[in-house]
């Protein structure tokens, strides 16, 4: 059988794309191929589980638009299909005077991006939401929430498959070669050969490599950054009610270490951000010769390092020091002690890095010959997934001439 569309990648963006296209075109036969044994095994299943509000993103950017639209759609989907979630709100905390100008900027971003209900609060008012947090000012963001992204991904695929019995999901199947013939592409995988008229690539950490296999020329490379988490012990869980974020440093491409109450009741603290020597490596000493050579032979990586040298050194030191990690956490909750935190899990984030060391901050989706490639989908892609999936559906209507 020749499938109408094959989606490569079973993270939440791939699942949302499958769902949006199948829902709009229930007669299409769609194949979802995922190389891991389960869905959402990389970025989706190892992120902090936050439903982002749209506060941080440049007005008019794809991130801003898709985050806000996607958030509404994701919450509606979770309510309809019983996915664990809670729109609990968060506080963004300024801990010093130098945070205030950027706090004001992200507040204005939030207003421009229609982030509903946000308001500035004083240091005293912070304690109305998070009694153990110490700060000089903050932003209350009531529309931020938490969700089980792995469960959401699985549900999107389950609903999609229920719409069309001839659609199929293949787990533990890696797509290796794409042979373009007239009118279709033959996909050679580790578990056989399949044919599809059109392809959508949602490869995350492998996005650049899949693009090249499909004949799409890109200058940039994906570089991975590992984020380590700690968890609060039982004795300390009462110190965090919902979500607590610092005002992010505008010179650094990540949001900073934060506290998140997860849907299972655990409290996570993190993540930091360190260069990883293996794209899909979750241990501190994981190493891949191929991934390391790929990243360190690329000029953009070194330019990023040089731009962020002091940040990078501090992040590495903190990765191997519980004491330094605790010190960062105490910037928000001074009463935390060494006994209050224990090592947790880790996640890896993909950054499409420009040759100039630019982190290619906005989402990026491009066409191939009979394909669509999601080349860059960093945070808040999970929150925005259904909006991204809808955008890919619209692109597919035109590019694949869907009827």
Question: In this predicted structure, which of 36-45, 150-159, 270-279, 331-340 has the lowest mean pLDDT?
Answer: 270-279
Residue with token string 């959508």: 200
Cα(261)–Cα(269) distance, integer angstroms: 9
- In degrees rounded to 5, what are phi and psi of residue 30? -120, 135
Q: Which two tokens stand for residue 221?
A: 């490379």
Full set of structural domains in the chain with CATH: 2-44+150-219+361-399 (3.50.50.60), 90-142 (no CATH), 221-359 (3.30.9)
Cα(253)–Cα(63) distance, integer angstroms: 14
The pLDDT tens digits for 290-304 are 999 999 999 999 999
Give the three-state DSSP class for 171.
coil
Please tell me the predicted confidence (pLDDT) of residue 314.
Answer: 87
Please tell me the predicted confidence (pLDDT) of residue 163.
Answer: 98
Cα(180)–Cα(63) distance, integer angstroms: 32
Cα(379)–Cα(55) distance, integer angstroms: 12
Whether 253 has a pLDDT exceeding 70, the answer reads no
Whether 256 has a pLDDT exceeding 90, the answer reads no
Please tell me the predicted confidence (pLDDT) of residue 311.
Answer: 81
H-run or E-run covering 311: helix 309-319
As a whole number, mean pLDDT of residues 297-317 equals 90
Please tell me the predicted confidence (pLDDT) of residue 190.
Answer: 98
As a whole number, mean pLDDT of residues 75-89 equals 98
Running DSSP on this structure, what letter comes out for residue 388?
H
**Percent of the chain at pLDDT exceeding 70:** 100
Cα(207)–Cα(227) distance, integer angstroms: 19
Tell me the whole-structure pTM to 2 decimals.
Answer: 0.96
Say whether the peptide bond before residue 176 is cis (omega within 30 degrees of 0): no
Q: How many CA atoms lie within 13 A of 256 on its CB side?
A: 19
As a whole number, mean pLDDT of residues 112-137 equals 98
The pLDDT tens digits for 342-375 are 999 999 999 999 999 988 779 999 999 999 999 9
As a whole number, mean pLDDT of residues 277-289 equals 95
């Amino acid at each position: 059988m020749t499938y109408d569309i094959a989606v490569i990648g079973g993270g939440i963006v791939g699942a949302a794309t499958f769902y949006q296209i199948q829902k709009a075109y229930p007669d299409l036969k769609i194949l979802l191929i995922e190389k891991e044994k389960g869905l959402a095994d990389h970025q989706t299943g190892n992120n902090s589980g936050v439903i982002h509000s749209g506060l941080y993103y440049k007005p008019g950017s794809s991130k801003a638009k898709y985050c806000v639209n996607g958030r509404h759609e994701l919450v509606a989907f979770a309510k309809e299909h019983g996915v664990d979630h809670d729109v609990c709100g968060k506080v963004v905390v300024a801990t010093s005077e130098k945070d205030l100008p950027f706090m004001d900027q992200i507040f204005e971003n939030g207003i421009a991006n229609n982030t509903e209900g946000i308001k500035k609060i004083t240091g005293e008012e912070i304690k109305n939401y998070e009694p153990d947090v110490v700060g000089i000012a903050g932003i209350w963001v009531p529309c931020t929430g938490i969700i089980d992204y792995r469960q959401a991904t699985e549900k999107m695929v389950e609903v999609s498959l229920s719409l069309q019995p001839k659609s199929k999901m293949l787990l533990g199947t890696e797509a290796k070669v794409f042979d373009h013939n007239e009118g279709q592409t033959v996909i050679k995988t580790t578990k056989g050969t399949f044919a599809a008229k059109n392809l959508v690539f949602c490869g995350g950490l492998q996005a650049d490599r899949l693009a090249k296999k499909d004949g799409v020329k890109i200058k940039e490379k994906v570089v991975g950054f590992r984020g380590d988490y700690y968890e609060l012990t039982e004795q300390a869980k009462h110190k965090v009610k919902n979500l607590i974020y610092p005002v992010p440093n505008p010179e650094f491409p990540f949001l900073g270490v934060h506290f998140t109450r997860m849907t299972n009741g655990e409290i996570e603290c993190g993540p930091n951000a360190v260069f990883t020597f293996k794209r899909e490596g979750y241990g501190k000493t994981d190493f891949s010769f191929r991934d390391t050579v790929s990243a360190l032979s690329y000029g953009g990586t070194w330019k990023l390092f040089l731009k962020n040298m002091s940040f990078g050194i501090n992040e590495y030191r903190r990765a191997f020091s519980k004491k330094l990690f605790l010190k960062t956490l105490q910037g928000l909750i001074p009463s935390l002690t060494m006994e209050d935190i224990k090592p947790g899990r880790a996640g890896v984030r993909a950054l499409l890095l420009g040759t100039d060391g630019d982190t290619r901050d906005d989402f990026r989706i491009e066409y191939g010959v009979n394909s669509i490639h999601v080349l860059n989908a960093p945070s808040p892609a999970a929150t925005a997934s259904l909006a991204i999936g809808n955008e890919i559906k619209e692109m597919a209507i035109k590019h694949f001439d869907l009827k």
